[in-house]
Amino acid sequence: MRSVASAFLLAFCLVRGVEAACTDSRFIDVISDPAWQCIFPISIMGIPIDFGDHPPDSKNSKIFCQCPGKGALGLGLGFMVGFWEPARVIETVSDPWCFPTLGMELNLGSVGLGYTGGGALRTRNSISFQHFHYYIMPLWAVLDLFTDIPCVTDSGESAFDLAMVSEVRPDWGDDLFALQLYPETALVANPASVIACAGDAVAASFGRTIDAMYWCMGSWGLTYPATGHITTKDYVAANAGLAGKGMFVQARTGNLPDRAVNYCHPTRMPIWVKSHWRLQEIDPVVDRKCHKIGHPGILWTQRKNPVGKQDNFSWMIFRKVSCCVSLI
């Protein structure tokens, strides 16, 4: 995976010139762009510290914990901490090989162009298609902050990395191809499963999610088919939903480690736990709030996609961290 990412990063010399379709030349500002209040609520030994305007967090924290093999004496006895970590970035772009987070694009010819679908909302059934790019971006490690706390970064994930680009995935643009990779699609492709998502949409309106309905993304649509197609009339919410789909695909391939399932170490969940994730738009407009998966677009998408920005989005991913700080 890292070799593939490195190959793409080495292609910087192929950045297109002044006639490029991707016009955003601003690199992400790791200081001012993230909505830092979204790290709350923080809990230390079960005591909550809650500041800022953020989605509610219903997870309760224990006081003491044990992770054998850790700590100074290997007993792993310690105390619990909980917070939200800005750990990943995902882009949803209408221009293949456009990287708004990096402020650049690559000229890779026809690679990924054969099944783009056009990017913009289609007139029939309001179907939208975007490519996604997934970055490992542990901001606290990048900024060298709080790195003495063992819960902040995963082992081997303390640096920036471009982990996936959907332009090289034939399944992302082909629903039938994706059905072969994710055969459980057939289980939720029925009216009952779709209607059941109404409950998740109502919960998302109040900043909650129903984790058992993993195929639902509240008001953003369905995770299946696990491709770059989504049906919606709100283009910003559609891109948020496609970011959620990209996260779901990364979870299925073990590339979206969850830090709140097991307090001793990250867990690679093949089916995501939606309540452990939040999204914040950072491009083309920096949203000063983060949102639970499926939060209705009518409540937050106004003026989030100005005319002339060409429908290329970046999203900061905050993940829930429940961690045992071992002392002995």
Cis peptide before 150 (omega within 30 of 0): no
Tell me the three state secondary structure of residue 12.
helix
Q: And the tokens for 16?
A: 């297109």
User: Residue 32: how many CB atoms within 10 A of its CB?
Assistant: 9
Tell me the three state secondary structure of residue 237.
helix
For residues 279 and 258, give the distance between their C-alpha atoms in angstroms, rounded to a whole number: 15
More confident residue, 116 or 169: 169
Least confident of 78-82, 230-234, 270-274, 321-325: 230-234
Q: Which range of residues forms the domain containing residue 145?
A: 2-326
How much is the mean pLDDT over the chain? 84
Beta carbons within 8 Å of 212's beta carbon, 6+ residues apart: none
DSSP per-residue codes, 35-60: -GGGG--EEETTEEE--SS-------
More confident residue, 58 or 57: 57
- State residue 50's pLDDT score: 80
For residues 272 and 264, give the distance between their C-alpha atoms in angstroms, rounded to a whole number: 18
For residues 138 and 1, give the distance between their C-alpha atoms in angstroms, rounded to a whole number: 17
Per residue in 228-280, pLDDT (tens digit) is 999 878 989 999 999 999 999 999 999 999 999 999 989 999 999 999 999 99
Residue 15 has pLDDT above 50, yes or no: no
For residues 39 and 52, give the distance between their C-alpha atoms in angstroms, rounded to a whole number: 9
Q: And the tokens for 129?
A: 């298609």
For residues 52 and 195, give the distance between their C-alpha atoms in angstroms, rounded to a whole number: 34
Residue 52 has pLDDT above 90, yes or no: no
Q: In sequence order, what are the beta bridge partners of 279?
A: 291, 317
For residues 12 and 10, give the distance between their C-alpha atoms in angstroms, rounded to a whole number: 5
Q: And the tokens for 209?
A: 């999610």
Phi, then psi, of 131 in degrees rounded to 5: -85, 160
- Provide the residue type at 84 as one letter: W
For residues 94 and 122, give the distance between their C-alpha atoms in angstroms, rounded to a whole number: 12
Residue pair 131/167 in contact by the 8 Å Cβ criterion: yes
For residues 242 and 220, give the distance between their C-alpha atoms in angstroms, rounded to a whole number: 8
- State residue 292's pLDDT score: 94
Domain count, the chain: 1
Residue 70 has pLDDT above 70, yes or no: yes
* Residue 71 Cα distances to 118, 188, 261, angstroms: 53, 44, 20
- Provide the residue type at 306 as one letter: P
Beta carbons within 8 Å of 190's beta carbon, 6+ residues apart: none
- State residue 56's pLDDT score: 64
Q: And the tokens for 64?
A: 């003491």
Per residue in 305-320, pLDDT (tens digit) is 888 777 899 999 999 9
For residues 248 and 254, give the distance between their C-alpha atoms in angstroms, rounded to a whole number: 10
Phi-psi region of 204 (alpha: psi -120 to 50; beta: other; left: phi over 0): alpha
- Closest-CA residue to 293 (of 200, 227, 224, 231): 200
* Residue 174 Cα distances to 114, 181, 217, 240, 272, angstroms: 11, 11, 20, 20, 22
- State residue 251's pLDDT score: 96
- State residue 220's pLDDT score: 95
Q: In sequence order, what are the beta bridge partners of 176?
A: none
Per residue in 133-191, pLDDT (tens digit) is 999 998 888 887 776 677 776 555 667 899 999 999 999 999 999 999 999 999 998 99
Q: What is the mean pLDDT of residues 39-58?
A: 78
